[in-house]
Structure 1
């Protein structure tokens, strides 16, 4: 067994940076205190009296009382438009060196989210914690000598107002520490190529020169890259090209819908590890193999709050009502849906990131993502989270032995009745009426609110099957290929009409 691999593995096992014994409640109290102290002399800190909050007997309670919730549009209009202009000391000391561009999954217009040096350090520290957690996964020593393919957006960042702009994966990759450079693939030269298809073509051409042990990236684009590499080398599966591939670090979206199609590209099973890296920060990672849940990073520049995910607290545009109750990590309960709100070292304050989560283990601060606030399908009282939609699609894959890596749907009115109209991305030929019945039956049994809705306002389910490539073409036409781009799972009627026209024309 390789000496270097044994040394690295030994260092990882000896490290105490990741420990299940750390107290998340105490860590979060300290993080909030550090954030308030750092930002008390900014314009935001003065406006909301951070100095007085720090003196309060119950800092967390006073923070909740004094500082309002913000979604991106709200904080941009009131505060970040000044940061975008290059002004200093607005919501965080100094001014950010980077802005993460993110169109998310709900629109074409890019958000410009500040990324400070403190946030770069936070992301890097969380990444190290994740690497150290690999000690729990019983990987062989020689794994730690292999190269890692990080498939993100271009690292060729654009300069604007003395700051660099790009997607968070590109910003992170451009800040890889020097000691990691020899392990990182596709390397700086290829990573700078902005055109997705050209970048993947270069990866395919170089693939056999690399000894890849791990992959990292969003599942949909990772699948397309692997397909291209396999096709270019006329191989049966990716292990014929990279025989030592053992780990895939997934992120951006739930891996479940992609599991079957992803595994079809492999020659042997690999370890899949979930991560939660957003434009706003590195939130969580899977720390142990016994669960698919992820551990919140509670000691690293991000303070978390949790709002019960109830219709009365969510406005029609997905934002929060200002009197919605928020809970600390000491107050949450198991298996309840919460809207995630964060305050960070990048100057986001009580910021609605747009995701919903539930706790699977409170002592370990382990969560799983259940959906998006804007993707919660409740038009006619069906109360379906993305998590439940993913489960339904996985049920279809198992029942009919097919692959459905992509889907989207809308609760839309047809004549005078509401239907859930689904588009399923699959290469299999299967009766659409059968799929609609199976979807409907599964959701009736899995969700009581859906069952009630089906007996009242929700008339039925309609299904259209199309090739998965249509979803990627839609993203390319509306945003761009690769990087952080994700398919919207639930659409409003106006957006769905655009999608329907596009998808139907592809046929």
Structure 2
């Protein structure tokens, strides 16, 4: 065991005490966070506008602070970008994280000097928790790579602006600087494919032990490594590679292909970071759910997903959540986001401690006929049958086809890129459809009532999604293909990639 691994083992014990405190005191820590956030922001522009001085309880807060998305919060963000102080949070943000929104275009999310350390602490604790549980600290003695956006930033009104992953790159602890790859110069390459090639060249002969990133872009890295070494598995290129850390998308659709590329079922840690805050991480190799970070400068609220678009939806705090119910996640943060709709849906699978699964996006669903099919349901149906048949799914997305050909009923159209495709596509589609009907009774009713016909799968050409993302200027980084759309914007563009 090297010195860093030994020190890491000691720190893992300290981190575990912090995690245990969160496990035991979830409600108390959330109440404390709520009071802290309101008190700190009382004299800000937002606090004055919403009467924070008179807020004593969560009920007071709900009465004064509405749920907002980015566009509704934008007038305050615009004031920050003009250089105003004390707008959403005391002073000016330490950074503005630039991110692409599905409805708002480019968004600028404030990160304060209080919220920035929470991102770093959560990422650190995810790794230290793994070390504590497994006893494996060897990753600290070798090289580690974080496939991320460029760390280069520009300024708006003297506030540094950049991608979250690039901002975080400036805060990697000193004791890990020597382990981190790629080099700063390579990390600054904007073209994703050129960047991946440079990363391959820099890392191919290194002792890589930890690799982190969004699964589809890590897969591209693995593919390039394999191609450059005559088809070797990643375990033969990096024999000490033992831990894969990911976030941003559900890993299950990518698991089989990534494990095939690596050569074994590697340990993984799922994380749930966002520009708005680091929300949760997987705290056990025996359990895929994520520990909600109740002491990370964020006060959480929850709206039942089926009520979200109602005029007056139910709005609750952590103490009132129910298990196995989909909620839209609402954030109030130490960077000054208030009643902020993150856009994600989650469900609780445990309340002792509070543990969640990310189930989709509140706006990523299909309900052209009232079925309200969500991401969790389509992913479950597809991956269940793919696993049973030993198929390899590279990527997929689903959209409604309302204008079916003459004589046909409307249907859900699934665009799938396979690594290994089914021998009988029709039989495969029928099996997936049956599982989806079991998961969603509204969808089943529409099929049985002859309002919809069973789903139809369109097989896409190799690299179809990479080519599509390249054409959209969204290849690599934190960009992801939405799994569901309630319109045809993505679907219509994918038709040119259908395999005849």
TM class, shorter-chain normalised? Answer: over 0.9
1:423 to 2:415 alignment: yes
Which whole-Å deviations, capped at 9, do the CAs of 1:312-355 have from their partners, x for residues lacking one?
432xxxxxx45211111111111111110001112111100010
Mapped contact 2:368–2:486 kept (Cα < 8 A): no
User: 1:19 is paired with a residue of what secondary structure?
Assistant: helix
Mapped contact 1:293–1:367 kept (Cα < 8 A): yes
User: 1:180 is paired with a residue of what secondary structure?
Assistant: helix
1:484 to 2:481 alignment: no
1-side partners of 2:455 and 2:237: how far apart? 43
2-side partners of 1:88 and 1:479: how far apart? 34
Mapped contact 2:126–2:269 kept (Cα < 8 A): no
TM value normalised by structure 1: 0.92
TM-superposed CA distance for 1:468, in Å, is: 5.2
User: 1:88 is paired with a residue of what secondary structure?
Assistant: coil
1:27 to 2:20 alignment: no
2-side partners of 1:4 and 1:133: how far apart? 16
Aligned equivalent of 1:280, options 276, 282, 288:
276
RMSD: 2.0
Change (3 A) 1:117 1:209: farther
Aligned to 2:7: 7
Aligned to 1:60: 58
Aligned to 2:436: 443
TM-superposed CA distance for 1:378, in Å, is: 2.1
Aligned equivalent of 2:383, options 365, 388, 394:
394
Aligned equivalent of 2:349, options 360, 366, 371:
360
Change (3 A) 1:86 1:449: same
TM-superposed CA distance for 1:139, in Å, is: 3.6
User: 2:402 is paired with a residue of what secondary structure?
Assistant: strand
User: 1:459 is paired with a residue of what secondary structure?
Assistant: coil
1-side partners of 2:462 and 2:44: how far apart? 48
Moved more, 112-121 or 8-17: 8-17
Aligned to 1:495: 489
Which whole-Å deviations, capped at 9, do the CAs of 1:184-211 have from their partners, x for residues lacking one?
1113222121111121111111223421
1:404 to 2:393 alignment: yes
1-side partners of 2:204 and 2:490: how far apart? 42
Aligned to 2:331: 342
Show the 5 A alignment for 1:127-276.
127-276=123-272
TM-superposed CA distance for 1:51, in Å, is: 1.2
Q: How many corresponding residue pairs?
A: 493
Which whole-Å deviations, capped at 9, do the CAs of 1:203-232 have from their partners, x for residues lacking one?
111223421111111001011011111212
Aligned equivalent of 2:91, options 51, 74, 94:
94
Change (3 A) 1:322 1:351: farther
Aligned to 1:318: none
Mapped contact 2:204–2:225 kept (Cα < 8 A): no
2-side partners of 1:141 and 1:420: how far apart? 46
Mapped contact 1:40–1:46 kept (Cα < 8 A): yes
Aligned to 1:317: none
2-side partners of 1:339 and 1:48: how far apart? 23
TM-superposed CA distance for 1:267, in Å, is: 2.3
Aligned to 1:70: 68
Mapped contact 1:18–1:132 kept (Cα < 8 A): no
TM-superposed CA distance for 1:441, in Å, is: 1.5
Change (3 A) 1:61 1:441: same
Segments of structure 2 that go 5 or more residues without pairing to the other structure are none
Aligned equivalent of 1:304, options 300, 310, 332:
300
TM-superposed CA distance for 1:417, in Å, is: 3.5
TM-superposed CA distance for 1:473, in Å, is: 1.8
1-side partners of 2:189 and 2:239: how far apart? 27
Change (3 A) 1:34 1:376: same
Moved more, 115-124 or 334-343: 115-124
Change (3 A) 1:139 1:466: farther
Change (3 A) 1:246 1:139: farther
Mapped contact 1:97–1:162 kept (Cα < 8 A): no
Aligned to 1:17: 18
1-side partners of 2:254 and 2:133: how far apart? 22
User: 2:90 is paired with a residue of what secondary structure?
Assistant: coil
Mapped contact 1:207–1:241 kept (Cα < 8 A): no
Aligned equivalent of 1:84, options 78, 81, 84:
81
1:464 to 2:453 alignment: no
Show the 5 A alignment for 1:375-390.
375-390=364-379
TM-superposed CA distance for 1:137, in Å, is: 3.2
TM-superposed CA distance for 1:97, in Å, is: 3.3
TM-superposed CA distance for 1:159, in Å, is: 2.8
User: 1:228 is paired with a residue of what secondary structure?
Assistant: helix
2-side partners of 1:313 and 1:140: how far apart? 43
Segments of structure 1 that go 5 or more residues without pairing to the other structure are 315-320
